[in-house]
Structure 1
Amino acid sequence: MKRIGIYLRVSTEEQARIQDGSLVSQRQRLIEYVDGQNRRDSSWGVIVDFYCDDKSAKDMNRPEFQRLLTDIKLGRINLILSTELSRLSRSLKDFCEVWDLFKKHDTGFITLREQFDTTTAAGEMMVFNLMNFAQYERKQTAERISANWAARAKRGLWNGGSIPLGFDRNPKSPGELLPNETEAKTVTEIFKTFLEVGSVRETCREMSRRGVFSKRYTNKHGIEKGGGHFTVPSLFRILTNRAYIGLREINKSKNEVEVVPASWSAIVDKKLFEKVQKKLAANKNKHKPDEWKKYPYPLTERLVCGECGKKLGGKSAHGKNRKHHYYAHPRQLHSDGVSQHKRCRVETVRAERMEDILIKSIKDLLQTPDLIERWLEVYATSNHSEIPALEGRIKTIESEIEQKKRRSQNLVTRVSELPPEVPADGFYSQIQELNKKVVEFENLRKDLLSKSTSLKGQAIDKMGLIEKLRSTISRLEETPTENRRPLYSNLIEFAEIHPTKIRVGLKAPTLPPTQYKATGTDSSTGNPKNSKFSDCEPRNLSLATRGGSTTVTIGARGGT
């Protein structure tokens, strides 16, 4: 008796919600087909489950389709019914993969429209020919839609997407926008405020102080969106949006921008809009001598906040006499004028000062060889003590994997022995959960094995480390700032910023396993200074292996 899975599909959620729509019709036709076959042969087949998707068949990223494939692998079904081939897939590449899976698990499929017999070579050939036509049809449809959208855009019509603040969609003509008088006043207020305060960020803060928020709307799923504080990027988009002066920009994604008259009227005075554009352009180059325009930020990707773990990126600010460069949190770069996050104690660090601190820390380290020796002994001892614990965890995990595999196999055996009329849904969910756990444990086991191998095989080359530090310092002093990033990247794994200290991870060369012997005891260093912008002192060394390369972690004191 065939174990049948019925696959139903429509292209959108809206189609799926229609009563007596396509899904209902597909289901009815397929059930009638099974009933007809069973009238001719009472043991022909039984419907095991229905799989209903509301997504396009352009790829396999469909939840119910993935569940169908899982049930095929588990042996739960061996025949798939669908009304037509395009319900399963419109991609030839995807269908080839699925077809291989069907053959591997002795699974056939029947489509009502085409009446394919996949057990013959001729039937298989016809399936692939039709798949070629289905894919061709999908691509043609996409091309027609793209051409139609381009033509509509050239006529100044709205093609969809988020409606800008100040407009509403015209229910009678979807390609047109209607002015929203209340929001239009808000847009004009934003433009005028920008000219008064002189910067997008200050305008953003001023709007927050006045209680002016972004556009609130209800999406197609009935969920309310928007109504929050403006951000700098969102406010910048408003100030540069030509839709407010009755113009439509097209081909922006292709960098071939064309401006055409829009099908809606302007809500912002054209002279006001042009004044804002001139001010934005002036701000872009204001007080920017050539030597101020760019700073290379050589520690990019190296600096990390010790509290939140985020990487610090480059930022600049203008003083009275010079431009100041900082490394700052990502949220600082996109501030909305109102704090929505828990702030870290160290928000920014001076770029030049940070680089001086790191160089001085490394120089201090070179002047204290005994300290390096003690740190390496601590590293060797800590690695030696970690290995037995890691091996114990690996054995425990391997035992868990074997146990779960046995349980899964026992459940599969029980399912195969069940009578056809007894549902097996509970067993399948247990099998899937066990298989998921096995994969998780396998990945964890690989990670622990990698770490154990690394701890056993890598020891720091003391002389190699000292030579690398000395060589890098010498080259940093001779190299212009704009060319220093590769040197820092080769030496520094990370620099973790804390309010009163900086932890620096160095990429240290390692010895072959035969040269390594774990010896030594723990030790500590002197007390750090605690004053702001005090000199750096190496402290609190820990050593760890990261991804096969050894990272030496030192602590440096210094103001940020």
Structure 2
Amino acid sequence: MKKTSEPERPIRVAVYIRVSSEEQAERGDSIRDQKERGIRYIKEHTNMVLQDIYLDDGVSGQKIDRDDFTRLMNRVKEGQIDLIIFTKLDRWFRSLRHYLNTQAVLEKYNAAWTAIDQPYFDTSTPYGRAFVAQSMTWAELEAQNGGIRVSDVFKTKVEHGEVITGKVPRGYQIMNKRMILSEEAPAIYDGIMHFLKHHSMNQSVQYLKDKYGICMTPQNFRQSLLRNEKLTGRYRGNETYCPRLLSDEDFNKIQHILDQNHNIKSSQKYPYLFSGLVICRECESKMGGCQINVLSKRKDGTTIRYKYPAYECKQSHTKKACLNHGEIRETRLEEYLLNYVRTEFNSYIASFQAKEKQTADHRMEKKQICKKLERLKDLYLNEAITLEEFKKEKARLEEYLSSLTSPPPTTQDLESLKSILSAGFETMYSKLNHEQKRRFWRSIIKEIKISKSSLRHREYTVVFL
């Protein structure tokens, strides 16, 4: 009896759409055209089924990191795609190196591609691959020339004091294509002056949040404000690009502080156990590491110099601006914590257990938000909403998605803390090397505040994570 052959599995086809911002301004229907032609191509082939539509809007072909392109390649690696279609080769990308790297991935996972408006591209033969590579070289050259033209336009805009992007530093806003000071400017200035006084980004960020309700990360505070030349009114050679928020003197002082802090971190030889954790309670600035030199006489009459790691308030030592004089030896601080931490551990575990019960698991909610993002993209593709509505709602959903807390930590972490106590915390700690001790304290302590109530007596306040 003759065997009946199994029906062939349909080809799973992904439609990839990309439009750069310049083209989007010129041809508002280009996304619709690409989508319709892709779907029509699949319908004309009875052995094909639509896997999904991938859209990158307002993204350059030379840019490697594209949201939906990355998602598309992940589906390829998962074996969900047999064929990728797009209208023209330059929709795929304009970088030869990116093309060659991507082509290697596609060949590894048995996925092919077709430019439906350019059917003469064929990657199944050596001649075809050479032809594609040559075409990519010219496409890359065209994209780079386009980049030069855009750079010339940006240069002209800056010379006339016009913004070249919609993103401006906090404390500024855009009016008539120019940067002007916003209502936030006095608060931002106050926060920067707070940093200039206390030399602490974390404190300054917390100060802005507590006093003005302005939330920033230390990294954003540093890069978008403290290191931003626009705050002096200058930008790319234009000395009067925008209104000045900071004087040159203050800006230069800030750069010196940031550079000095960087040099201290990069050149620090001794790894202080509590560096970055010790806070002066008198002036709320961080206490830096230092070395105490002690001379001791031997029995034979000679002297030997000993060095002990310690911490001191830099505001007191260098500027005489704080009354918290003197140093605190690292060994004394470590001894205090070893005697104090067992009680705090029990409190920490109790707090950990309470938080574990209260923390909501938002996995289902995150899944629903992801589905909403997919539906939002379909609405945009079907022209039910405008590009501005799409971007605004997408940003809102992504912001809400990132705000959802992660699932509660497993009880494994809690059990490890309990085992530390039951096994004898002090014994365990004595067996750690110096670097392990550093990591240990940083895993449980947020900060150690030190005040000086008398010439010889100090008070400690330990804040645990």
TM-score, length-normalised on structure 2? Answer: 0.47
Q: Which has the larger radius of gyration?
A: 1
TM-score, length-normalised on structure 1? Answer: 0.40
